[in-house]
Each structure stands twice: as structure tokens, then as C-alpha cells.
Amino acid sequence: MDSYDVIVIGVGSMGGAACNALAERGVSVLGLETYQPGHDQGSAHGGTRIIRQSYFEDPAYVPLLRSAYDGWRKLETESGRSIMNLCGGIYIGDPENPVFAGSREAAEKHGLAHEILDASEIRSRFPTMDPADDALALYEDNAGYVRPEETTIANAEVAARKGATLRFGEPVIWWGATPGGGVEVITPQGRYGGDRLIVTPGAWAPQMLADMGLPLSIERMIFHWFTPDFSAVPYEYWHEDRHPIYVEETHANQQIYGFPMTDGRDGGFKLGFFRVGTPTTANTIDRVVRDEENETMRDRARQLFPHLTGPVVQAKTCLYSVTPDEHFVVGTHPAHEQVSVGCGFSGHGFKFVPVIGEILADLATAGRTDHPVALFDPRRPALAAI
Ligand SMILES: Cc1cc2nc3c(=O)[nH]c(=O)nc-3n(C[C@H](O)[C@H](O)[C@H](O)COP(=O)(O)OP(=O)(O)OC[C@H]3O[C@@H](n4cnc5c(N)ncnc54)[C@H](O)[C@@H]3O)c2cc1C
């Protein structure tokens, strides 16, 4: 039986970064992944993911974001791939809404450069948008997007170059702790031994971490790409050179988020509902998007983007793994100290990929990390089985 210092189950967003970080430390690492790098069956596809720093979810995420940004730059350099574009970000809401008020709190608490805009300033600066008259926005330059498929491919390439063994198309069907304090993993192709295990299975966590009994809700989410009316607002205003990423929720009108046009005039303007999914499982998700779903999205989106009137370019599903408090699950497995887990990224994990990789590598090699991870404790009360 082949044996490794660390085995990683799931070489997707987080597992790929963990393999890269471990290989860099000279650790012998085996990564096992059901699909191929850059696949579209989990949570890491669809072309773009928002990254931002004035984090309305909780200011405690800001130090991690600073580390993650350093990691994104490093991954671009090491892979030679274009992954990150800081085209700016705008977070719009009524004055009490967390999208606006929480962003401002995080920016002020951590001294992040930002501007506050009122509705008329938003309209004149970004002619695609027509927010409510009492809307306010926080705008920051240090936000934009990263490319998810490029990221997972880059992490796999760089990890392999540093010596990691990565086996794609090889699903893990069982793992367990061994009496000697190590682990054993079984796939249809073989059996592997390891001193440590990292389990990063994304939306397959209910199966791969069943013994933890985590209260995770696996949700079907949709990305929609619409064609704007370029005769009303010319293409250049929708393009990433002139348009930021955005999150908006005004007067409880259901949070949306989206991107500028990044893939040419015919590529569509991509957006989605934030945190409003339909419960499903990773193996049974309905991947067909219906016309009604596109039109419901368009009706909501046009409250902010009235000129989003052209044809639907495409629509795709994606999986969220949501915890009750929407904070991640990153830490040591409660029943096995040689096993670390990373899951439950609750629809906002991608921007943290490089730093989560470092944290998981810390846990696997030292049993602890200096990064602030108290929010993500697998033993926290919010995760107690209901
Ligand atoms: C619609 C949508 C929009 C999003 N927008 C954003 C955004 O703008 N910004 C942001 O920060 N985040 C965003 N996210 C969230 C982010 O993409 C996820 O939090 C992140 O990708 C989760 O990473 P992961 O490693 O847990 O899952 P994945 O990247 O899915 O990786 C898990 C991997 O484990 C593999 N696996 C599972 N079981 C096994 C097994 N038994 N054997 C071998 N391999 C296995 C899977 O095949 C998969 O490759 C969005 C997600 C979605 C769905």
C-alpha cells in the first residue's frame, strides 16, 4: 500500500490550495479527486468569483482576506495564469442594510480605503445602475474577481510541479482512522495510507463527513448571463474596464450580486441571487435552468439595471454548502486529531482559497494555525446537531 505524509480528499477549490501549500513545505502529499481540474459539477465553475475586502458578513474575515490577496498574487506568479482582476467593487443598500452598513463597519474598523456614494453619484458614475433614491453605496478599488476554473487548474499544476501526487478521476469511496493514529483511504483503483488526512469534499460533505453530523444545507444556485441593451447604455459601461463587481439589497428586495462583462460583447452580463437556493444534494441536483427562473432573476435585476432587457446568453447551476450561521467549517475533526476538515463555505468561500489552503496545511503539519479561525470551529454551538 502506497503511503504519504498527508492525503487530501477532494482537489477542488480548497483541497487544490491545500495540496499546493503542503507540497511547498516539502510534505509528501496525495490528492484524490472524482473529476478533472476545472470541472463544473461542484462549486468552482462559472468563470468568475467575487473578491472584496470591506466584508459585511463580519469584519473578522478582513485579516484572512489580506492574506488571501497575497496568496492570489503568488498563485498568479507561480502558475503564469491570469486569475485575478481588481476592477473595483460596490455594495449598495438602504442605510440600515448590512450590505451597506456592514461593509462600512468593516472598512472603518480595518482602515480600508473606500468611498461612500449616494444614489445620484452611483447613477452618474455607473450609468448601468438606477438604484432607489435613498440608496447608499460603499465603493472600494481593492475588489474584483478571480477565475475559479483557472484557480483549480493552477493549484493542481503548481502542486504537481512541487512534487504532489494528484490522481484525478479517482473518487474516494471510504476513509477511516487506523489504530496506529494514521489514516487509510480506499478508491476503486487502490488503497492508500497516510499519517494525516484533509477532507475538502465541497457539496459532498454530507457523505464524506457523515460521522460529524454537520447541519449543512446543500443548495442549488443559479448563475444567469443576460444581454444588456447597448443602445440605451453602450457596451463600454458594462465592461470590466468601467464597471465594478456589485452586491445590492435595498428595502429587503433580496440580495443580488454580479460582475461586469469579462468575456466580450456577446459574453453576457453575469449575476445571481445571493444566499437564496433550493435544497438538493450533490448527486441529485437538477442542472436544467428553466425560462421562469431566468425571468424571475431578470425582474429582480432590473430594479437596479433597468436596461438588462436582451436575450439570456446562458444559465448554469452551482452548489452551495451552507451552515446555520453561514461561517465556514475549518478545523480538526472532533473525533480524529489526524484529520482536518474544510467545508460549509456557505456560498462565500472562494475569495479565501489561498489562505484556507495555508490553514489546512498548518493543521495537517503542526496541528494548529496562527491565522484567526475561531469563527470556523467545527465544535461551535451553531453546528450542534439539531
Ligand atoms: C453560484 C455560486 C456563486 C458563488 N460566488 C462566489 C463568489 O462570488 N465569491 C466567493 O468567494 N465565493 C463564491 N461562491 C462560493 C465558492 O465557490 C465556494 O465556497 C467554494 O468553491 C467551495 O470550495 P470547496 O473546495 O469546498 O468545493 P469544490 O470546489 O466543489 O471542491 C470539492 C471537490 O471535492 C471533490 N470530491 C467530493 N467528494 C469526493 C470524493 N469522495 N472523492 C474525491 N473527490 C471528491 C469534488 O469533486 C470537488 O472537486 C459561489 C458558489 C456558487 C455555487
Ligand 1 site, residue 327, Cβ cutoff 6 A: no
Is 254 found in the same domain as 155? Answer: no
Q: Of 322, 356, 374, which closes a domain?
A: 322
Distance from residue 350's CA to the centre of ligand 1 (Å): 8
Q: How many domains does the chain have?
A: 2
Is 262 found in the same domain as 207? Answer: no
Helices (H), the chain: 13-24, 62-79, 98-109, 119-125, 148-161, 205-208, 291-301, 353-366
> If DSSP codes are grouped into helix, strand and coil, which group holds residue 384?
coil
| Per-residue model confidence (pLDDT) at position 385 | 64
Q: Whose CA is nearest to atom 15 of ligand 1?
A: 347
| Per-residue model confidence (pLDDT) at position 275 | 77
The answer as to whether 78 is a domain residue is no
Q: What is the pLDDT of residues 235-265, one digit of tens each?
A: 999 999 999 999 999 998 999 999 999 999 9
Is 221 found in the same domain as 122? Answer: yes
The answer as to whether 331 is a domain residue is yes
Ligand 1 site, residue 378, Cβ cutoff 6 A: no
Nearest to 109 by CA among 149, 67, 53: 53
The answer as to whether 75 is a domain residue is no
| Per-residue model confidence (pLDDT) at position 294 | 98
| Per-residue model confidence (pLDDT) at position 386 | 56
The answer as to whether 57 is a domain residue is no
Q: Of 322, 342, 368, which closes a domain?
A: 322
Is 353 found in the same domain as 377? Answer: yes
The answer as to whether 128 is a domain residue is yes
Question: For the domain that residue 351 is a member of, what is the CATH number?
Answer: 3.50.50.60
Is 161 found in the same domain as 28? Answer: yes
Is 153 found in the same domain as 36? Answer: yes
- Cα–Cα distance, 216 to 346 (Å, whole number): 9
Measure the CA dihedral 105/350/68/215, to 10°. Answer: 70
The answer as to whether 59 is a domain residue is no
Is 186 found in the same domain as 167? Answer: yes
Ligand 1 site, residue 37, Cβ cutoff 6 A: no
The answer as to whether 55 is a domain residue is no
Is 104 found in the same domain as 222? Answer: yes
Q: Of 322, 339, 372, which closes a domain?
A: 322
Higher pLDDT, 277 or 30: 30
From the number of C-beta atoms within 10 Å of its C-beta (0-12, 13-18, 19+), residue 76 rates as middle
Which residues, including other chains, have CB under 8 Å from residue 364's CB and lie 6 or more apart? 6, 18, 22, 27, 196, 197, 198, 340
288 secondary structure, DSSP code: P
The answer as to whether 195 is a domain residue is yes
Is 126 found in the same domain as 197? Answer: no
Ligand 1 site, residue 12, Cβ cutoff 6 A: yes
Q: What is the pLDDT of residues 135-188, one digit of tens each?
A: 999 999 999 999 999 999 999 999 999 999 999 999 999 999 999 999 999 999
Ligand 1 site, residue 9, Cβ cutoff 6 A: yes
- Determine if the pTM surpasses 0.95: yes
Question: Residues 8, 156: contact at Cβ < 8 Å?
Answer: no
Structural domain harbouring 109? 88-141+217-322
| Per-residue model confidence (pLDDT) at position 115 | 98
Is 123 found in the same domain as 17? Answer: no
pLDDT at 97 over 80: yes
Is 198 found in the same domain as 345? Answer: yes
Distance from residue 309's CA to the centre of ligand 1 (Å): 31
Q: Dihedral sign, CA of 259, 262, 264, 270? A: negative
Is 169 found in the same domain as 294? Answer: no
Distance from residue 271's CA to the centre of ligand 1 (Å): 18
The pick from 35, 43, 52 for probing ligand 1's pocket by mutation, whose C-beta has the most ligand atoms within 8 angstroms, reads: 43
Q: What is the pLDDT of residues 349-378, one digit of tens each?
A: 999 999 999 999 999 999 999 999 999 999
Ligand 1 site, residue 318, Cβ cutoff 6 A: yes
> If DSSP codes are grouped into helix, strand and coil, which group holds residue 290?
coil
Please spell the DSSP secondary structure of 307-351, one letter per residue: T--S-EEEEEEEEEEE-TTS--EEEE-TT-TTEEEEE--TT--GG
